[in-house]
Structure 1
Amino acid sequence: MTSITNPILPGFHPDPSILRVGDDYYIATSTFEWFPGVRIHHSKDLKNWRFISSPLSRKSQLDMKGNINSGGVWAPCLSYQDGLFYLIYTDVKSWHGAYKDTHNYLVTAESIEGPWSEPVYLNSSGFDPSLFHDRDGKKWFVNMIWDYRKGNHSFGGIVLQEYSAQEKKLVGPVKNIFKGTDLRMTEGPHLYQKGDYYYLLTAEGGTEYNHAATLARSKTIDGPYEVDEDYPLITSAGKDHLDIQKAGHGSLVETQNGEWYLVHLGGRPLKDKRCILGRETFIQRCDWTDDGWLRLSHGSKSPEVVVQGPDLPEHPFEPEPAADDFSGETLGSQWNSLRVPMDSSWMSLSERPGYLRLKGRESLSSMHEQSIIARRQQAFKIEVETSVAFEPEHFQQMAGLLFYYDTIDHVYLHITHREEAGKCLGIIQTKYGEYDELTEAFIPLKDQEEVKLRGEVQDGMLAFYYRQHDEDWQQAGPLIDITHMSDDSAKQVRFTGTFVGMACQDLSGGRKEADFDYFIYKEQKKETTGQETGKGSTLHL
């Protein structure tokens, strides 16, 4: 029987919602402020996964311009009934302070690859919504409710309301069906039905190092729900030696052969408990006890790196090519933009065939209109490379190779113009919102020539290089600790992961353009786990 090595979706792929339709398995994950919204992966064997669609591909479905960092799409839920796929998602507009503005929507499609419908607005009472299709034909909507009032716990419980597919709205009374356990911060609800019971799986403990998933059950959908006395189902809390930390927020699937699996989020930390890859998707095999409760098959509550796979034939997929030469009519599915769709007003593959053209817009601190095309960093050891044609005329114009977490944490190897150097190369590091320039002096470059830029990352340390013509690669600036680009380094928790890609700014408003000839992304194929990589390793150049 095959084995599965975790994570199954490496890099920033949190809040997994898993679904089986016949012999096909699908996982939907959160995308937060990155566009397009929601990523769906497909598998036949629960081991090998490939990306197939991002349902929220139009501004009419998802308008995130101005959304706060780590806002946007939280915790989608994917389901299927009577030939129709349902996707529930939250668009979070604000979440700092006492209040949270969390708008919940539904889109549908006959095919998992779309086209997906225009959204149906549902409610805004809390986040992590989920839709359950009951055996009697009714549809039930659950979400956690946010309670901002003084003296109350802000995670106010899980509320239930009926959804009318005919009227396309929530109907009937709202009932709080589960207040959670002493782990608190109850969220991420998913309902299931097995035998005589409705089972409610929730995330608890907060999505950091005390994260967990808890199971409760009831013989009626509106409760009362009794908690498994041996809760939680899974957690890494208090076990710093585990390779997989933050285990929690999951969903369940039964194979066509009656085997059960839990997919859940987790993180693989480097030094100082920093997860630069973000929260990833992992899988665990489960068994039911004689008295009707679920347990991880290996007999522990702790997540395992290697798990027993299902009794299904393997279906491997072709790996993503390392190089993108931008010769197609559309960008590959690995590429994302921030908050707004990719359109011809600021990026083009046709204006200079064979190149990706970016037109300079707002700064790296903007939450509105950035010209960034980036992809997830999905391994601790990577090499990336691009070549850019860019002729800046003054210091407000920049273009180059970007490592990006959010508006307050990023590192940027960029071409610009300085009076003392002309066209030149420099490094910006913004760390916890503080701007710095890491080169002692800007490096002069030849005019009217493309510049090749490269970055090498090993275990949270980044080295930049550059070259023109056939000259040797030259290191640009010092080794850079990029572990500040993680969920864990900021004063307030955040939820994405490190991206790497191409960017262009023109702070004068002149929309100066940069042309990128290619982008190469390579991972070290065999790597150690996160805990091991944090033990004092250094970058060998």
Structure 2
Amino acid sequence: MGSPMAAEPEGAGIRTATFTNPILPGSYPDPSIVRVGDDFYLVNSSFEYFPGLPIHHSRDLVNWELAGYALQDPDYARDAVNLVDVQSNGGLHAPSIRYHDGVFHVITTNVHAPADGSPAKMVNFVVTAERVQGPWSKPVVIENAPGIDPDIFFDDDGRAWYLGTQVPEKPNFPGEGEIWMQELNSDNWQLTGERHFLWRGACGGTWAEGPHIYKRDGRYYLLVAEGGTHFNHAAMIAVSDDIRGPYISNARNPIMTARHLSYDNWVNSTGHADLVELADGRWFMVALGIRGDEQRRSNMGRETFLAPVIWEREPFEWKEVKHEWPVVAPQTGRIERRLPLPLKDTRQRRKLAFVDEFDASQLDLQWNFRRVPRAGTYSLSQRPGFLRLHAKPDVIQERGRASLMGTRQTESDFSYRLSMRFEPKASSAEAGMVLVQKDDNYLTFTLSREARGHFLKLMLAEPGTAPRELRRASVDGYGGNIHLHLESKGGRYRFGHSLDGGATSVAFVETSATHALSHGYTGAYLGVYATGNGQETGSYADFDWVRYRAFERN
């Protein structure tokens, strides 16, 4: 298996003096961060994808390596934590990562709406590990914990606290959120004692959620997201002398947002943040945002961004108590594309390429599935040096578990190429390339065999409409091996293929690059797909390699 950076020329993606946002490009929403010594660890929501809860590691806040997943055992992704038939935009929401007494803790919500239409179940649970690479514990469900977006806080006195988000018992308006807190018994991770209701947000309180608590100079700071995860998204903060409240809102809220900027700003919807203190006492914030590359959106959806933070004391002479508050991006008050590096003697190396030659015995961590895959979906051993993907009967559909696997699209402009050997055993079997946004929004570029020979076809699925064929054409001279490629540049997709190992290329379809913009919680994936279209055909496709190269816009 090739290194993820194998296709990059020397020096590509390197920046000095400054770093470029997002620090985690691609579908990495709802970031939570923790520092352990000189190391930083960051977890993101993964929703219906599996493995779940990706965790990255960094030593400088700008160069991140995927270290593992907090939910990676298929046996742990069933029953209460159901990623088997979870609905689109369901699954794992808004995790928080914390470190205490030599153990990492990730706490999060799994949202599962049963297919029979009964009410959705919001299951809050915690997993633990001594190393982020795992093994991670079996999820422990926290009973009687309503709502979403939990956080866990370990106080200096040894007590552990659970923070959650819920709809108030008597809301003042639709969409009002309420942050609540209760002590956790760290022996069994169950709630104990009295429940405390802390805050309903600052600027209207619409969808107050994603709480985190920090202790600084003896005071407790409560950070929340507010405004919904779109243009009005924001981060608000409040302070209290007692962890149980009452909490005093910062009069200068929101402390981070893009709601006051043009809808055409390079990034919008910034919010759902977490704070981290460096060893030298400086602070930084990670937050999600949406790049406005196409129609104020992008295929990548919600990504992870970084901003510096300073603390300032209120200057008002008439105030008896002058609180200190965090000031995010103090020079401009917004998330910037480029900023000075957080640490000296470092440089950022943007990961602009991913190459997999499938030579390893284990699948690269970058690969994900939409839901827990069926047993026997793929193999790296049945044909060494190849990824064998079995064309099972499943097709791409809501709650489906198709033979589809992909890696995150990280830039709007890119090149994606693959080499496939495929000899379908039935006319219903097809295999090839996929760009998938959701179960009802994708492009498949596949090969199949019919009585008249082999054919390529490009299918487009968009929300609210049946999948439609953009083009079907015969592939004369097909001998069992084909290269497929997709180029995205200037707002256009260009699909093509080669039968001579890439020496020459044949254009197939050119279409708009706006067909798979993110309108939900996740972003697009590029990958491989095979199906028997409802039939057991015994067919499979062998992929020799995939090559992805991203091209940054200014």
Taking structure 2 as the reference length, what is the TM-score of the superposition? 0.89
Question: Which shifted more, 166-175 or 216-225?
Answer: 166-175
With over 3 angstroms needed to count, the CA separation of the structure-2 counterparts of 1:150 and 1:299, relative to structure 1, is closer
Name 2:550's counterpart in structure 1. 523
Letter in 2 for 1:403: L
Name 1:61's counterpart in structure 2. 76
Query: 1:428 Cα shift?
Result: 0.4
Q: Deviations over 1:458-477 (max 9, x none)?
A: 25421111111356211112
Letter in 1 for 2:150: P
1:432 aligns with 2:501: no
Asked if the contact 2:312/2:325 (under 8 Å) is kept, the reply is yes
Aligned-partner Cα distance in 2 for 1:194–1:98: 44
Asked if the contact 2:459/2:471 (under 8 Å) is kept, the reply is no
Unaligned runs of 5+ in 1: 489-493, 530-541
What pairs with 1:154-165 in structure 2 (closer than 5 Å)? 154-165=175-186
Name 1:243's counterpart in structure 2. 266
Letter in 2 for 1:432: P
Name 2:410's counterpart in structure 1. 378
Q: Deviations over 1:43-88 (max 9, x none)?
A: 1111211111112111232231111111111111100011111011
Aligned-partner Cα distance in 2 for 1:100–1:265: 25
Secondary structure at the aligned position of 1:272 is classed as coil
With over 3 angstroms needed to count, the CA separation of the structure-2 counterparts of 1:322 and 1:112, relative to structure 1, is closer
Secondary structure at the aligned position of 1:111 is classed as coil
With over 3 angstroms needed to count, the CA separation of the structure-2 counterparts of 1:418 and 1:315, relative to structure 1, is same
Asked if the contact 1:147/1:154 (under 8 Å) is kept, the reply is no
Q: Deviations over 1:169-190 (max 9, x none)?
A: 1222222211112151101100
Corresponding residue to 1:224 among 231, 246, 259: 246
Letter in 1 for 2:431: A
Letter in 2 for 1:292: E
Name 2:20's counterpart in structure 1. 5
Aligned-partner Cα distance in 2 for 1:318–1:245: 22
Aligned-partner Cα distance in 2 for 1:313–1:341: 43
Asked if the contact 1:57/1:341 (under 8 Å) is kept, the reply is no
Aligned-partner Cα distance in 1 for 2:56–2:426: 43
Secondary structure at the aligned position of 1:265 is classed as strand
Question: Which shifted more, 462-471 or 431-440?
Answer: 431-440
Name 1:36's counterpart in structure 2. 51
Q: Deviations over 1:133-175 (max 9, x none)?
A: 1111000011111469897534430111111111331222222
Query: 1:2 Cα shift?
Result: 4.1
Asked if the contact 1:62/1:91 (under 8 Å) is kept, the reply is no
Query: 1:501 Cα shift?
Result: 0.3
1:174 aligns with 2:216: no
Query: 1:486 Cα shift?
Result: 2.5
Asked if the contact 1:125/1:146 (under 8 Å) is kept, the reply is no
What pairs with 1:258-337 in structure 2 (closer than 5 Å)? 258-290=281-313, 291-314=323-346, 322-337=354-369
Asked if the contact 1:261/1:284 (under 8 Å) is kept, the reply is yes
Secondary structure at the aligned position of 1:54 is classed as strand
Name 1:190's counterpart in structure 2. 212
Name 2:275's counterpart in structure 1. 252
Aligned-partner Cα distance in 2 for 1:58–1:445: 44
Letter in 1 for 2:30: D
Aligned-partner Cα distance in 2 for 1:459–1:193: 47
Q: Deviations over 1:307-329 (max 9, x none)?
A: 23334542767958642111110
Q: Deviations over 1:490-540 (max 9, x none)?
A: xxxx1000100001111213342111111111122xx324xxxxxxxxxxx
With over 3 angstroms needed to count, the CA separation of the structure-2 counterparts of 1:395 and 1:154, relative to structure 1, is farther
Secondary structure at the aligned position of 1:128 is classed as strand
Equivalent pairs counted in the alignment come to: 519
1:356 aligns with 2:387: yes
With over 3 angstroms needed to count, the CA separation of the structure-2 counterparts of 1:148 and 1:514, relative to structure 1, is farther
Name 1:509's counterpart in structure 2. 536
Letter in 1 for 2:123: H
Aligned-partner Cα distance in 1 for 2:281–2:127: 29
Letter in 1 for 2:207: M
What pairs with 1:478-489 in structure 2 (closer than 5 Å)? 479-488=510-519
Query: 1:364 Cα shift?
Result: 1.0
Q: Deviations over 1:240-299 (max 9, x none)?
A: 242121110000001000001010000111232122111110011011112301112434
Secondary structure at the aligned position of 1:442 is classed as strand
What pairs with 1:440-451 in structure 2 (closer than 5 Å)? 440-446=471-477, 448-451=479-482
1:106 aligns with 2:126: yes
Give the RMSD, CA atoms, in angstroms: 2.3
With over 3 angstroms needed to count, the CA separation of the structure-2 counterparts of 1:318 and 1:440, relative to structure 1, is closer
1:49 aligns with 2:64: yes
Secondary structure at the aligned position of 1:257 is classed as coil
Letter in 2 for 1:93: H
Question: Which shifted more, 283-292 or 388-397?
Answer: 388-397
Q: Deviations over 1:15-64 (max 9, x none)?
A: 00010000101111111111110111111111211111112111232231
Name 1:452's counterpart in structure 2. 483
Secondary structure at the aligned position of 1:270 is classed as coil
Name 1:537's counterpart in structure 2. none
Aligned-partner Cα distance in 2 for 1:18–1:259: 15
1:27 aligns with 2:51: no
With over 3 angstroms needed to count, the CA separation of the structure-2 counterparts of 1:480 and 1:436, relative to structure 1, is farther
With over 3 angstroms needed to count, the CA separation of the structure-2 counterparts of 1:381 and 1:44, relative to structure 1, is same
Taking structure 1 as the reference length, what is the TM-score of the superposition? 0.91
Aligned-partner Cα distance in 2 for 1:39–1:380: 22
Aligned-partner Cα distance in 2 for 1:116–1:319: 27
Aligned-partner Cα distance in 1 for 2:260–2:280: 35
1:14 aligns with 2:29: yes
With over 3 angstroms needed to count, the CA separation of the structure-2 counterparts of 1:150 and 1:398, relative to structure 1, is farther
Secondary structure at the aligned position of 1:141 is classed as strand
Name 1:500's counterpart in structure 2. 526
Asked if the contact 2:26/2:523 (under 8 Å) is kept, the reply is yes
With over 3 angstroms needed to count, the CA separation of the structure-2 counterparts of 1:459 and 1:177, relative to structure 1, is farther
Letter in 1 for 2:57: H
Secondary structure at the aligned position of 2:295 is classed as helix
